[in-house]
Chain A
Amino acid sequence: MTVATDLNMVEAINRGLGQILEEDQDSLLLGEDIGANGGVFRASAGLQERFGEERVIDTPLSEAGFVGAAMGMCLVGLHPIVEIQFDAFVYPAFEQLVSQAARFRWRTRGAYGLPLVIRLPYGGGTKAPELHSDSPETLFSHVPGLRVVIPSDALSAGELLLAAISYGDPVVFMEPKRMYRRGRQSVPDRFEAGDLDHAVVLRPGSDLTVIAYGAMIEVVQAAAEQLQVEGVSTRVLDLRSIYPLDLESILVAAEETGRILVVHEAPRHCGVGAEIAALLQEEAADVLLAPTLRVTGMDLPFPLSQNEDDALPSVERVLAAAHTMLEY
């Protein structure tokens, strides 16, 4: 029997992690301060108590070490879920992910994968110190062999987390931490594994499609509401998978709405928006009614807190870009 509860995103992740630990005896959690402390965001609160110190493991401060060790654990049959404390703290483990984890299946000619999940709280909007607000999804989506998944709400977080750990290849699971405690949503007692392959239309529309993911969904939804008032029917497409991209949903949106606007908080240069714009050029130039625009973070080190709102895409910037495209 499924009992729905209203949870915020971090509570849903906590529930999902608990469900994984319960159902999959080979799974375990690794990370800094995730045990008694429950993680700095409390994503693993209470789990060490429930599952013991050998399933929910506090590590030394060594991202390269414990991400690398998680790979070795996979070789002996474990399914580790690694928490990186904050986005930019993943950089010391970048080599392990890029030079090692991503290449394992290729190095075994497709025979074996590493069932490894890297949980990465990411993104701005929380007035955090330097290097606590980065959006490095492009770095990982550029690396052959990694999947990059980003949920946008409590339900998708729980469902995609379950799908990620049962997938069988490394998944960089990026959690928009700005959304951790942003409202509650009815989620089931036990999650079903979500769909790692497809984007989701969160809002139907016919005049314009805004493609976004993670915390930007909230911004885009607010803009779509405003556009609705103006009589513009806006489709909101939540990517969820950054690599691979759901090309079909993107092309259907181009075909059906003729205008594609991409919104992300990561820097613009070589970002997801650039990739989508290029794909549209290659695959759908003849159906577009207006050139694709991007509303993105800036090509800056993510600003210190006083200026973060200047860099983050806002409802106003999304509306302005939408108007430009509609008036083209």
Chain B
Amino acid sequence: MLSPPLPSDHSTDQVAVDLVARVSRAVGIQPNLSVGPSSPWRRPADRAPGAELLEGARTLLGLPEPAMLAQLRAWPRGLALRLFGAMARLRAFDERAVILQRQGRIGTYPTFYGEEAVQAASVLALRSQDWLFPTYRQTAAVTLRGCPPVVPLLMWRGHPGGWHDVMKYRVAPVCVPVATNLPHAVGAAWGAKLRGQELVALGYGGDGSTSAGDFHEACNLAAVMRAPVIFLITNNQWAISTPLSKQTRIPRLADKAAAYGMPGIRVDAFDVFACYQTVFEAAAKARQGEGPVLIEAIGYRLGPHGTADEPSLYRSPESDRLWESMEPLRRTRAALVAAGLASEQELDQVQADLAEELRDAGDALDGYAPVTIEEIAGTVHLDTPWSLMPDRLREPSWADRGGGE
């Protein structure tokens, strides 16, 4: 039995580390800095609320340790490290964004702490021509397609430079009203199929989104049209303060797929390898013309809904603590090291480099001059209407026009 490795500090900048720890505590996030529990890749504590949801979900890291290590050692090392790197990139973004929010350099920010595994896996399991349809919880996903991280940071600073190049990255604009992005994913996938293009679309949602009408319409339409679309529903058990039990009477969201005539697959959201395999397989099926797939990635929202949220008002810190053992970056690190796929030092270096890159991205924010409202007014329509012309944006002045005498 291998003894679990001890994750170490991932930043070379002790000031930043301390700041992350402090602000993370302030918003209820446990930063990835402390020593993990004894078996970080196993299961959440039985007492963790919702732990039973993981029963029967696909997992690699949750397997008994010898089986887990044997399976993981069969993975191509390059892929395993790329997955880790993508997760680390997302984590570095998230930590930096929280710091920037606390410094007042960006506005309210929806942290995705704990979703790094499912998000990184979903992007890497697809091809560059495939389309992604993110919500506000996946704002950094586009950075895994090559977009500089300053772009999504600008979004949270309220700067129009935060709108990334949709066609270049094949990532739709970040969608705020959850579930309304899902019909777009269906249309892209279905349209591509009609045009004979071999591509897959993936729409992100959460447990709350499955209660919205657009979820139903998207699933039904996709199934009827056999659109090559993946609905990736991350069940983190909380929609702001609304628990899963008040969202649905169905304990397993994946079961909803049956009502549409498509497969529903359950996977451990904290397991980057299982998520990768699941999305990869769903995409392969979709590409082969077998239609849509609903993936329920089961996890727990380890952080608050966002920087303005105070989870202690509606759930116990004890619950957060019990789930913290599943924190995916530490879990992945521990497994990679135990399987001999990477050393602590290598992984430290990856995280340190990314932390520095994100610190630079945060500093770059200040270099973006505000955009004038006149410039913005010219971006709404193909042909800018007269009322959006610079001299018409504000109230008319009779004096300027020679009238009113």
Contact = CB atoms under 8 A, between A and B. Distances in A.
A71 B183 CA distance: 8
Given A104-B173, A105-B379, A286-B404, A71 B184 contact: yes
Contact of A65 (B165, B201, B221, B380): B221
Contacts of A67: 183
Nearest to A107: B173
B385 interface: yes
Interface string B363-405: 0000000000000101111110111000000011000010110
A76 B186 contact: no
Q: In the complex, which range does the number of interface residues on chain B fall in?
A: 35 or more
B217 A65 contact: yes
Interface string A92-118: 100110011001111111111100000
B385 A243 contact: yes
Interface in A58-80: 59-60, 62, 64-78, 80
B122 interface: no
B107 to A, nearest CB: 17
A309 interface: no
Contacts of A69: 183-184, 186-187, 190-191, 218, 221
B136 to A, nearest CB: 13
B183 A72 contact: yes
Interface in A245-270: 247
Contacts of A232: none
A87 interface: no
Nearest to B383: A197
A27 B177 CA distance: 28
Nearest to B164: A108
A65 B167 contact: no
B387 A244 contact: yes
A244 B376 CA distance: 17
B58 to A, nearest CB: 28
B188 A68 contact: no
Nearest to B190: A69
A275 B401 CA distance: 20
| Best-buried of A69, A73, A169, A283 by chain B (most CB within 10 Å) | A69
B220 interface: yes
A321 interface: no
Contact of B378 (A60, A68, A110, A243): A110
Interface string A129-173: 000000000000000110100000000000000000001110000
Contacts of B194: 28, 54, 73, 78
Contacts of A64: 180, 183, 213-214, 217
5 contacts: A69-B184, A69-B190, A74-B191, A92-B213, A111-B167
A286 B401 CA distance: 11
A74 B214 CA distance: 19
Given A28-B194, A112-B167, A247 B188 contact: no
Interface of A: 26, 28, 54, 59-60, 62, 64-78, 80, 92, 95-96, 99-100, 103-113, 144-145, 147, 167-169, 197, 243-244, 247, 282-283, 285-286
A60 B227 CA distance: 14
B112 to A, nearest CB: 20
Interface string B215-229: 001101100100000
B68 to A, nearest CB: 38
Contacts of A60: 217, 220-221, 224
B187 A72 contact: yes
A65 B215 CA distance: 9
Given A71-B184, A75-B131, A76-B197, A106 B404 contact: no
A107 B379 CA distance: 8
Given A64-B180, A109-B160, 18 more contacts: A28-B194, A60-B224, A62-B220, A64-B214, A68-B183, A68-B217, A75-B172, A96-B214, A103-B173, A104-B173, A105-B380, A107-B173, A108-B166, A108-B167, A145-B380, A197-B383, A247-B386, A247-B387
A72 B224 contact: no
Contacts of B189: 72
Q: 8 shortest A-B CB distances, which residue pairs?
A: A72-B187, A68-B183, A65-B217, A69-B187, A110-B379, A244-B385, A73-B191, A72-B188
B185 interface: yes
B199 interface: yes
B192 interface: yes
Contacts of B165: 108, 111
Contact of B163 (A73, A100, A108): A108
A73 B386 contact: no
Given A71-B187, A100-B184, A112-B167, A59 B221 contact: yes
A12 B89 CA distance: 56
B382 A169 contact: yes
B249 interface: no
Given A75-B184, A108-B173, A66 B221 contact: yes
A24 B393 CA distance: 37
B403 to A, nearest CB: 5
A108 B174 CA distance: 11
B188 A73 contact: yes
Contacts of B246: none
Contact of A68 (B131, B180, B383): B180
Nearest to B214: A64
Contacts of A104: 173
B289 to A, nearest CB: 14
A169 B160 CA distance: 20
| Best-buried of B173, B184, B220, B383 by chain A (most CB within 10 Å) | B184
B166 A112 contact: yes
A107 B383 CA distance: 16
Contacts of B379: 105-106, 108-110
Given A99-B177, A282-B396, A65 B214 contact: yes
A65 B183 contact: yes
Contacts of B404: 285-286
Contacts of A113: 382
